[in-house]
Amino acid sequence: MNKSERLRDEIVKKIQSIMACNPPLTQEMEMHMEKLRTILANPVVESAFNEAIARVYPHTETGGVNYWMYADVQLLALYFRCWFTDLPKPTSGLGYILPFSWLYFNNKSGYYFLNLFKSSSLGQSVMRREIFNWTVEFIMIRGNFMDSKESTTYIDDWLQDPSTNMQDFLIPPGGFQSFNAFFTRELNPNVNARPISNPDDDSIVTASADTIINLILSDLTLKTMINVKGRQISMEKLLDGSQYAKNFVGGTAVSCVLMPNVYHHYHSPVKGMIVEGKDIPGIYNGIVDGEHWFNDMSNPGQGDTDFSLFEEFHRAYYIIETEKYGHVAMVPVGLNTISRITPSLVGEKSSYVSPGGAPVPVAKGEKLGYFAYGGSLNILMFEKDVFPCVSLLMGNRLGQMTAKET
């Protein structure tokens, strides 16, 4: 047995040992896995996967071995089978999401295989994005599992972990009945855990969620990609061609990352009228330099992340018209394997407003929606000269330090 075969055998045994501890697959999951095996049995698909594997970056950014170098289509199927009922723990971060990102880390062929490659393996008469369609359905079926009682195994571990800060949240009568119920937990209004700063001062912008701010871009353009230390964004694509995109030319964008252990509802950062908002379908896997985002709970989104990819992800957007400060856009983005982005009701109306629809008034700090389990962020955008920087008063929270290893 050569080195590659030995390493592959070790990987298979490790996955199988993990899988033995996971809940069993449902009948729907088993049927979906059979569909994947049919797709992967197509020599054209296997060849495309092998092309992606041949171009896998040999090392992770932390210097470890990228074990996807030793993968074949059988191991890919095994990985998804194990992932289907994997349950997050406080110590596991985003679980299978990060190792999966190593397949397309610095690897455009891997990204292409997952999101753009077309084949015909399931009896269709035309070529389709079978792998992409399969992974989307995988995420939805896994999302159903995360909504089930079977997903509650490690919730007590999360409740007891200090970083979860459960004193800030409500625990429903009878406890959380699914992992997503825990993940989308509500703040406890009796402890005022997230007081809205300066509620009567409309010039003050508040955080849209429990976030880590990792990027500020200024002088936005409508179509041309801006490259600031490798970071790119196009408002027109990000806002799905909205008529309001032009309002942000010359303005500022702020990226706010949500980590797995925090509150995953998002709120309006300003007071105003929601004049437009909607859900935009997109990809669920594919941050080519994803390890910048998910390598470390305390260090997400380093400075040379390629932000142009956000325009391709499943996302939503809200355009809020303020009285004195122009328009403010908020773009919730489901970065990796987010099964759903759910809008809230503002008053008795949806926070999504169709183009030309009746505007919906929203207060600063009012809830606009939430993310189910996965990796996510919000992008805030402001008009020119309105929000040039993030500013803090003395004594306000700036961030949280991580203890040095001893």
On whether the CB atoms of residues 98 and 104 are closer than 8 A, the answer is no
Residues sharing a CB contact under 8 Å with residue 66, sequence separation 6 or more, in sequence order: 56, 57, 58, 59, 60, 102, 105
β-bridge partners, 336: 375
Q: What percent of the chain has pLDDT over 90?
A: 48
pLDDT tens-place string over residues 346-359: 877 888 999 999 99
User: Which band of pLDDT confidence, cut at 50, 70 and 90, is reported for residue 1?
Assistant: low
Contact predicate 380/256, CB 8 Å: yes
pLDDT on residue 229? 30
pLDDT at 251 over 80: yes
The pLDDT of residue 366: 95
Q: Please report the sign of the dihedral spanned by the C-alpha atoms of residue 207, residue 146, residue 21, residue 16.
A: negative
Q: Which residues of 220-249 are buried (b: 16+ CB within 10 A; e: fewer)?
A: beeeeebeeeebbbbbbbbbbebebbebbe
pLDDT at 284: 55
- Give residue-wise pLDDT tens across range 186-201: 999 999 889 999 999 9
Query: Do 293 and 300 form a contact (C-beta atoms < 8 A)?
Result: yes
Give the burial class of 51: count Cβ atoms within 10 A of its Cβ; 0-12 exposed, 13-18 middle, 19 or more buried: middle
| Alpha carbon distance 372, 361 (integer Å) | 25
Q: What is the pLDDT of residue 268?
A: 96
Region 387-396: what's the mean pLDDT? Answer: 88
Q: Which of 117-121, 169-173, 231-235, 255-259 has the lowest mean pLDDT?
A: 231-235
What's the pLDDT at 405? 75
Q: How many whole angstroms separate alpha carbon 394 and alpha carbon 406?
A: 31
More confident residue, 104 or 42: 42
**pLDDT per residue as tens digits for the range 280-339:** 876 555 443 333 333 333 333 333 333 333 446 678 899 999 999 999 999 988 766 665
Task: Output the pLDDT for position 376.
Answer: 79
CB 301 within 8 A of CB 287: no
Q: Round the average pLDDT of the chain to a whole number and report it.
A: 84
102-157 residue pLDDT tens: 888 888 899 899 888 999 999 888 899 999 889 888 988 998 999 999 999 999 99
Q: How far is CA 223 from CA 215, 235, 239, 331, 405, in A?
A: 20, 7, 11, 17, 45
Q: What is the pLDDT of residues 350-384, one digit of tens each?
A: 889 999 999 999 999 999 998 888 767 888 999 99
Is the Cβ–Cβ distance between 399 and 390 less than 8 Å? no
Rounded to whole angstroms, how far apart are CA atoms 81 and 88?
A: 16
User: Two tokens at 150?
Assistant: 């079977």
On whether the CB atoms of residues 65 and 58 are closer than 8 A, the answer is: yes
Q: What is the CA radius of gyration of the chain?
A: 22
Distances from the Cα of 331 to the Cα of 58, 110, 249, 320, angstroms = 34, 26, 16, 11
Segment 75-91 shows an average pLDDT of 91
pTM above 0.75, yes or no: yes
Q: Report the range of poorest mean pLDDT among 181-190, 204-213, 225-234.
A: 225-234
**Banded model confidence at residue 273, pLDDT cuts 50, 70, 90:** very high
What per-residue confidence (pLDDT) applies to 292? 37
CA count, 13 A, side-chain hemisphere, 135: 23
φ, ψ of residue 6 in degrees (nearest 5): -65, -45
Render the burial of 22-39: b for 16+ CB within 10 Å, e for the rest: beebbeebeebbebbeeb
How far from chain centre, in Å, is Cα 220? 23
What is each CA distance from 118 to 45, 79, 284, in whole angstroms?
A: 9, 21, 17
The model's pLDDT over 157-173, given as tens digits with 9 standing for 90+, comes to 999 999 899 999 999 99
Q: What is the DSSP letter of 187?
A: B
Residue 96: predicted pLDDT = 80
Q: Is the dihedral of CA 60, 63, 64, 66 positive or negative?
A: positive
The pLDDT value given to residue 232: 54
Closest CA to 331 of 353, 349, 314, 346: 314
Q: How many CB atoms lie within 10 A of CB 284?
A: 23
Mean pLDDT of 59-63: 77
Residue 55, CA atoms < 13 Å, CB-side half-sphere: 16
